[in-house]
C-alpha cells in the first residue's frame, strides 16, 4: 500500500503513536509522518505509506497552518497548559494592543524553541533532559510566519489563525507574544488546519480509516504520493527517457518544459505517457540535463 493517509490526530496521542496505529491497521511496515504535532495538539498529520515515505522531506518542509488559543496572564514551563505555572499577572489588554503587536511577529525571524520540545541533543529529546532535571540550553532557529489573523478576542483568551513555515513553534509564539504585551501568555489549544496541500476538511480519524479498511473504501481515503508535490512543475517522459530515469541516466529534452528556464537544482515530477508517477528529477545547470533524483515506480523496495 503506497500513498498518504491524512489523519486528524486526536489529543493525547503522540505523532509516533498515530504512525504506529496506521501501520498496524494497513499492514504496511514502512510508514512515517510529515511534521510532528505535540500530544495535546489535534489536526492534520499526514502519514506516508510505502514509497510515499520518499517524499516525506518535501512535505515536512512545506507550509503549515494552525488555529491557536492563547491565554494571557499566565506563563508556564512548557509554554502550554501541561506545564507548571511560573508567572501570573492581571490582564489589561485591548484588542488594539494585540493588533499593533502582531505585525512584529511576521516574516523571517529567529525563534527560541521551548525547553520542553522534541528537538534532540545527543540523540535525546530536550523534554526528556528537562524532566530529568538537567540544565537545558536552546538555541534560536530561523523560522518564518506568513500570516497572523485574529479570530476571536475574549479576554484573557485570544484565538489566532497562523500561517507559517517549517519548524515554527506556536507555543513559543504564544510565550513571546505574552512577553511583548506584558502579562505573559501560554498556549491552551492548538489545531493544525493544514500541512502542505492537505487541509483539515480532507483529514480522517483513525476510527474512520479503520472503518474504510473494513468496508473496502480505503482507496478513496488515500492520497497518491505525488499529491504532496503538485505545486512543482512536471514532465511526461517517453519510453526511452523513462528507462533512462529508472536506470539512473541523465535526461536531455529536445524542448524546454516552458519558456521559463529551470532554476539550478530545481526538482520536477516525472510521469510516463500513461500518467504513472515515475519519480523526481533534478536540474543540473553544469551539463544542461535533468538527473534522476528519486525513482519511485520501480516495484517493491526493501524495508528500511
Question: What interhelical angle do 15-26 and 206-215 show, nearest 10?
Answer: 10
End-to-end CA distance of the chain: 15
Q: Please answer whether residues 189 and 66 qualify as being in contact, where contact means their C-beta atoms are separated by less than 8 angstroms.
A: no
* The residue to which cell 499566565 is assigned: 74
Q: What is the CA radius of gyration of the chain?
A: 22
Q: Known catalytic residues?
A: 38
Which residue carries 519511485 as its cell? 296
Angle at 239 between CA 238 and CA 245, to 5 degrees: 90
DSSP string, 175-213: HHHHHHHSS-EEEEEEEEEEETTEEGGG-B-HHHHHHHH
b/e burial code for range 18-53 (CB count within 10 A of at least 16 → b): bbebbbebbebebbbbbbebbbbbbbbbbbbbbbbb
Cell of residue 206, nine digits: 483513525
The C-alpha cell of 112 is what?
Answer: 527560541
Q: Which of 284, 267, 279 is nearest to 226 (CA)?
A: 279
The Cβ of residue 131 has, within 10 Å, a number of other Cβ atoms equal to: 11
Amino acid at each position: 500500500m503506497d500513498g498518504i493517509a491524512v489523519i486528524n490526530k486526536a489529543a493525547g496521542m503522540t505523532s509516533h503513536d498515530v504512525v504506529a496505529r496506521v501501520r498496524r491497521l494497513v499492514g504496511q511496515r514502512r510508514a512515517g509522518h510529515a511534521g510532528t504535532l505535540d500530544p495535546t495538539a489535534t489536526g492534520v498529520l499526514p502519514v506516508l505509506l510505502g514509497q510515499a515515505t520518499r517524499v516525506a522531506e518535501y512535505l515536512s518542509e512545506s507550509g503549515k497552518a494552525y488555529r491557536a488559543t492563547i491565554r494571557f496572564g499566565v506563563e508556564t514551563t512548557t509554554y502550554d497548559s501541561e506545564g507548571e505555572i511560573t508567572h501570573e499577572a492581571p490582564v489589561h489588554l485591548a484588542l488594539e494592543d494585540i493588533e499593533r503587536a502582531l505585525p512584529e511577529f511576521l516574516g523571517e525571524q529567529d525563534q527560541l524553541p521551548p525547553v520542553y520540545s522534541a528537538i534532540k541533543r545527543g540523540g535525546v529529546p530536550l523534554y526528556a533532559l528537562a524532566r530529568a532535571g538537567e540544565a537545558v540550553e536552546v538555541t534560536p532557529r530561523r523560522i518564518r510566519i506568513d500570516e497572523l489573523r485574529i479570530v476571536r478576542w475574549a479576554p484573557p483568551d485570544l484565538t489566532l489563525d497562523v500561517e507559517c513555515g517549517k519548524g515554527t513553534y506556536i507555543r513559543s509564539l504564544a510565550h513571546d507574544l505574552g512577553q511583548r504585551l506584558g502579562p505573559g501568555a501560554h498556549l491552551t489549544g492548538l489545531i493544525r488546519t493544514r500541512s502542505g496541500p492537505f487541509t483539515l476538511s480532507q483529514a480522517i480519524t483513525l476510527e474512520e480509516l479503520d472503518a474504510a479498511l473494513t468496508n473496502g473504501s480505503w482507496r478513496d481515503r488515500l492520497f497518491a504520493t505525488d499529491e504532496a508535490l503538485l505545486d512543482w512543475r512536471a514532465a511526461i517522459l517517453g519510453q526511452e527517457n523513462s528507462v533512462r530515469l529508472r536506470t539512473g541516466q541523465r535526461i536531455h529534452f529536445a524542448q524546454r518544459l516552458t519558456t521559463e528556464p529551470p532554476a539550478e537544482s530545481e526538482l520536477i515530477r516525472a510521469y510516463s505517457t500513461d500518467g504513472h508517477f515515475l519519480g523526481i528529477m533534478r536540474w543540473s545547470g553544469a551539463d544542461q540535463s535533468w538527473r534522476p533524483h528519486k525513482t519511485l515506480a520501480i516495484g517493491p523496495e526493501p524495508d528500511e
